[in-house]
Every structure is written in structure tokens, then in C-alpha cells.
Amino acid sequence: MNHFIGIPRGLDFYLHYPFWQSFLAALGVPTIVSPPTNRRIVDLGAAHAVDGCCLPLKVYLGHVLTLAEQGVKTFFVPQIISIVRREYICPYFLGLPDFVAHYLPKAGTSILSPVVDARRGELAAAKKIIAFGTRFGSWLQSAHAYHTARAAVPKATVRLDQNRGSAELKVLLLGHRYLLGDSFLNQGIRDKLQEAAVEVITADQIPDTILSRAAGKLPKRVFWTSGRQSLGALERCLEDVDGVITLAAFACGPDSLISDVIQRRARQAGVPSLLIYVDEHTGQAGFGTRIEAFMDMLVRRKAK
Amino acid sequence: MPMAKRGVYLGVDVGSVSTNLVLLDHETDDILAKLYLRTNGAPIHALAQGMRQLREAGEWDVFGVGATGSGRQLAAAIIGADVVKNEITAHAVAALKHNPQAATVIEIGGQDSKIILIRNGVVSDFAMNTICAAGTGSFLDQQAARLGISVQDFGDIALQSRNPVRIAGRCTVFAESDMIHKQQLGHSVADILAGLCQAMVRNYLSGVAKGKRIEPPVLFQGGVAANSGIRYALEAALGLEVEVPPYFDAMGAVGAAVLAKESRFSSAGSGTRFAGFAVGESLLSSTSWECSGCPNHCEIVQINRDGRPLACWGSRCANPMPRTAE
């Protein structure tokens, strides 16, 4: 494992993994990803992380420590300042490399932190990433890897407005991608909804330009990318869905504001909305009961 | 004198504090029997006892069974349920059976509390207490015991208060210290109990109802509805009349029975899964272990009837490891 670069399966993984995987592979860098989140990873992260940080950050640390146990010496922890022009993401992403370094032994380990900063647009961000890649090859090779990686990123496809009027229920599922993508943290909510024959719509299925335009209807600009995407998806889909479910991470600052706006907008529009907070103590019973009751409510409303 | 068997639907609600069973007449929708049993941490025992008591109460022909409550899975496995539903749906269905115009259901049980908003006969919104169980029945039980009064007398004593004290109800630990402090200052038990009722209502309205529009008719359900002090404090805070339906402490079970009846009509011809009242006489046990198949270490529970496995749950995957012999 010594020469492998470890990629923790958390936070940025759910935003950019296809890009980084392709970028590093094109430069011939061997990588290893930590296993899907399990109880042990959550416990490991929660036991070590400082008090007060959010669940996804604790779990990220659990992934880092799991990789370290496997013998990984070099960790890939991007420092993300901004992923969309004139927007920010959560400040924890900004401090992530320093946060991780604190928990690793100083001797024998290193952290690779490309800086992602799109505040001044994509070109400026690309330059920094290509500069980061030059440690594995020439500038030209790195630029080529960048373009290969850009092409590898799956495109969002709009699937709205279809099947309207069919008996099937449509639910808009909102939340950070690292919650919606991690089936341990979200307690398999996607499977639960799909078992109930519900069509699930998420913000990442909708092109960002559409999300931006829809979020523009709000009285004030939202400068957190994830929140802007959630609210954009809400504005875009409110009339097309039977209900909205929001997953929020306990102790997440932006979520505490964004989820409240979601609740209010849904209530104004008369669309049922369910807000669920997840933390490392989340019981399966309460979680399942809420989802089940919410689905019952949607089914009974529709039948009426 | 031998009587014809009555056709009934059995509703079961296994909660943290009480296990309730009702029999719903399949023709008249009347409640023919109602049991409110303390779960006492032994839901299997409570279920078996309930089955024995129901059998002694009459001759029943069970057409269908509905289970609800936090122990609904357990109840469904042991007595054989046709419908297994969450408490919110069950409580809403029961409220609508009692009053088809019901617009708000306030439910405070042993360890959880909920609010259900109903518009035009359909649930339109709901909320449950999330992280904290402050202000639920268990806390009232504890405090009554600490003050040396029976929880049945709690409400009537609180109603005698002329000058309720202010108690911090946000957290039960702080509420208890506050109560002790007020006692030491010399306030009467009635004033402290009335203050506690107001604190619980404040906590409920800010923590569970959270600004939801509470419209009449308002139904108050769950074991805590027996407490006239809480009901009075609710009415005072809401400025609305709050109705406590008959069977208020078994509305979950009533709802489960109604749901069982509904589902039997929608799937006519199929027989009930009811295991029979004899289940109350059989040897029921549960075993649990931690699965060692993967790092998730799921807690597996297996329910046994007369030594044979009846049901198994708790695993995140389809193939938990069997219990290893010790």
C-alpha cells in the first residue's frame, strides 16, 4: 500500500471522484479508495474528531484513519475554496487538509492537496489543478490529464416533466451529495423510496445552469453552492413533485439555514415536506417511521 | 350458553411504556375490547398476556390483524399481522374514525410525542420529537414517583393550583433541578405540578409543533391525555378546546385495527396471518447477537416460539451470520 495514494470515501469524493480518478490515472498515479462507510468507520471518526464538527466531517476522518490502518502513507485531500464562480462551499472543505494532518503521524505520512478555487472562474481553477499535476509529469501531460478528466465527468440529464400523471409518486430528495451518496449515513433512503415505487429526483440530475436560474427566483442570492443547488432544484421541481424530503447533517451550519428555507417554500407551495437530521446516533427506528409515515401521507393524499 | 363468535379486527400497539390491544367489531366498528398493559420493558410478555386476556374476554373470530408502535415488527412476528403501519398513520386513522372533521392530533405517549395535521380527511403534515424525549409520559411518571403521588392523581392536583411556578421544560434534567429548587423555596406541590404541565406544553409547542398551524377540532391522544393538568395547560396555551376521545390511550391500536379492516376489503379473499390466541400460551423468547460478518456489526434479533425461530431482523444486509455457538 506504500506507494498508493489513498482517497477517503467522503465529502469531496461524492462531488469530484470521477474527475480526480481520471486525472490521477492519466498521470499514472496509483490510487486506492477507502471502503464504503460502515459502523466501524463512523465510530473511528467520531471517537477522534474534535467536538462540534458535523457528521460528514467525522466520517471523513474515519475514512482517513481506515486508510492509514491499511498502510496508506499518502492521502489525497483537496483544499476546496470554491467550485462555482462567485460562490463558496462549506469552510470545513477549506481547512480539510489541515484538519486531516492533525490526526496523522507527522513522520512518514504526507498529504496531497490540490487547490480548487473557481471564485474567479473555471480557467483560473484549471490552471491551479494543472500546476498541481506537474509533480507527476510535464505541464503538457498534466494539461492533457485535466482535459481527459473533464470529459470523464458524467453530465447531468434532465428527466423532469416526464411521466406526469402516472400513478407513480415523485419525490424530490435534497441534501449534500455526500449524504445522499453515502447509503450508510442516509440509511439506504434511496432504496427505501425505490422499494416504495417512488421516483426520486435529486439536484445532481439537473444541469447547474437550470438550478442557478431557478435559484434566482429567491429574494436573496445563496452563495453556498450546495444550498443554491438544493434551493434551485426545489424552485424548479416544486410543481412537479408530490413531496420533498430533505436530509440534513446535524451540526451543519449551512444546512440549519437552507433546510429552514426549504421547509418554508414547500409549505407556501402546499407541497408536503419532511426534514430529517442525521447524526452518528441516528436510530433506524425513528428514521424508518418518519419515511414510512411520509410516504403513507403522500399515497393517501394522491388517492383522495 | 354457547354464543356465536363475533367477527373482529385486532389492533395492537406496542409502545415503550404501554402495550395496547383492541378488538374492532367488523360490522359496527365498535370497540368490543380494549387492553392497556404496561410494557415494563418486556414487550413479548405483555403481548402474550394481552392475548390470554382477550381470549378470556369472549369468543372472537379474528378477520385481520394490524400492528403499530415502536414494537410493531415484534408484534407482527408474534401474533401474525396483516398490516404493519407506523404510529403516525395509525393515530391519524383512529382520530378520523372518532371525528371525521378532526384537523389536529396532538399525541403524547410514553417516550415520544407527535403532532399530526389533517386537512380534508388526509394527513397534510406531521412531526415527531427528534433528538430529545423531554416532556413525554415517562418523565411525568418519574416526577410523580419522586413527589410521592400517583400519576393518576397528577392532573387533578395540578388543577388545584392558583399560582403555577415557572419551570424550565427544555430538558428534563434541568426541569427536575428546577422542581427541586422550587420545592425547597416552599412552593406547594400543586403549583409545582401545574408549572410542570405548562413547561411540558411550552416544550411541546416549541419543539414538536414548531409553529405548525393548529386548527380545531383538536384531538389529544396518547397516555398523557389522561392527565387533566396537561390538557388544561394545552387549552390555555392554544386558546382552543382540546378533546380527549374515548380510548385516547389506545388510539394507535384502534387505528391499526381500522387499517387491518381497510386492507382486508382491498384484498378480499386472502386469509389473515393471525397466529391465534394460543400464541399467549406458547413459550416465546428472543435471542440477540452481534453479527461478525462485516465491520457494521449489526445487532441481530431472533424471535422464537416454542424453540423454533419465528422471525429475524436487525441486519443491514440480506445474509447475517448465524449466532456462533458459545
Residue-level pLDDT, tens digit, chain B, 326 residues:
456 788 899 999 998 888 999 999 998 999 999 999 988 888 888 999 999 999 998 889 999 999 999 889 889 999 999 999 999 999 999 999 999 999 999 998 877 889 999 988 889 889 887 666 666 788 888 888 888 888 888 889 999 999 998 887 667 777 788 888 888 888 998 998 998 899 888 888 888 888 888 999 999 999 899 899 999 999 999 999 999 999 999 999 999 999 999 887 765 556 888 988 888 888 888 888 888 888 878 888 888 888 888 888 777 777 777 776 54
Residue A164 within a domain = no
Q: Rounded CA gap, A33 and A12, in Å?
A: 12
Residue B97 within a domain = no
User: Using the beta-carbon criterion (under 8 Å), do B316 and A188 form an inter-chain contact?
Assistant: yes
Grid cell at residue B194? 401545574
C-alpha to C-alpha distances, B85 to B12, B93, B257, nearest whole angstrom: 10, 11, 11
CB distance B110 to B18 below 8 Å: yes
Q: Is B87 on the interface with A (CB under 8 A)?
A: yes
CB distance B67 to B83 below 8 Å: yes
User: Using the beta-carbon criterion (under 8 Å), do A38 and B70 form an inter-chain contact?
Assistant: no
Residue B98 within a domain = no
For residues B108 and B239, membership in a common domain is answered with: yes
- For residues A107-125, average pLDDT: 91
Q: Rounded CA gap, B195 and B179, in Å?
A: 9
For residues A225 and A114, membership in a common domain is answered with: no
For residues A184 and A145, membership in a common domain is answered with: no
- Shortest distance between the Cα of B140 and any Cα of chain A, in A, equals 22
Beta bridge partners of B67: B12, B84
B154-199 pLDDT, tens digit per residue, is 889 999 999 998 887 667 777 788 888 888 888 998 998 998 899 8
User: Using the beta-carbon criterion (under 8 Å), do A297 and B131 form an inter-chain contact?
Assistant: no
- For residues A145-163, average pLDDT: 78
Residue A258 within a domain = yes
Q: Rounded CA gap, A53 and A30, in Å?
A: 31
Q: Across the interface, which of A38, A279, A293 has its CB nearest the CB of B294?
A: A38
CB distance A203 to A211 below 8 Å: yes
CB distance A89 to A226 below 8 Å: yes
For residues B124 and B184, membership in a common domain is answered with: yes
User: Using the beta-carbon criterion (under 8 Å), do B128 and A286 form an inter-chain contact?
Assistant: yes
Residue B1 within a domain = no
User: Using the beta-carbon criterion (under 8 Å), do B295 and A272 form an inter-chain contact?
Assistant: no
Interface mutation vs chain A, best among B70, B74, B84, B86, most A CBs within 10 Å: B86
C-alpha to C-alpha distances, A152 to A25, A121, A155, B148, nearest whole angstrom: 12, 20, 9, 70
Residue A253 has pLDDT above 90, yes or no: no
One-letter identity of residue A41 = I
Q: Is B122 on the interface with A (CB under 8 A)?
A: yes
Chain A residues touching B296 at Cβ < 8 A: 38-40, 184
Whole domain around residue A65: which residue ranges?
5-152
Burial class (CB in 10 A: 0-12, 13-18, 19+), B117: buried
Whole domain around residue B86: which residue ranges?
6-92+252-280
Tell me the CB-side half-sphere exposure of residue B110, using CA atoms within 13 A: 21
Chain B residues touching A288 at Cβ < 8 A: 86
Q: If phi over 0 gives left and psi between -120 and 50 gives alpha, with beta otherwise, what is residue A27?
A: alpha
Residue A44 within a domain = yes
User: Using the beta-carbon criterion (under 8 Å), do B125 and A272 form an inter-chain contact?
Assistant: yes
- For residues A29-58, average pLDDT: 92
Q: Is B5 on the interface with A (CB under 8 A)?
A: no
pLDDT for A166 equals 56
CATH number assigned to the domain comprising residue A119: 3.40.50
Q: What are the residues whose beta carbons fall under 8 Å from the beta carbon of B239, sequence distance 6 or more?
A: none
Residue A106 DSSP SS3: coil
Q: Rounded CA gap, A194 and A140, in Å?
A: 45
Q: Is B297 on the interface with A (CB under 8 A)?
A: yes
Chain B residues touching A294 at Cβ < 8 A: 126
Number of cross-chain residue pairs from A and B with Cβ atoms under 8 Å apart? 60
- Shortest distance between the Cα of A201 and any Cα of chain B, in A, equals 21
Q: Across the interface, which of A39, A272, A296 has its CB nearest the CB of B89?
A: A296
> Residue A260: closest CA among chain B residues belongs to which residue?
B210
A28-60: burial string, b at 16+ Cβ within 10 Å, e else: ebebebbeebbbebbebbbeebeeebbbbbbbb
The tally of domains found in chain A comes to 2
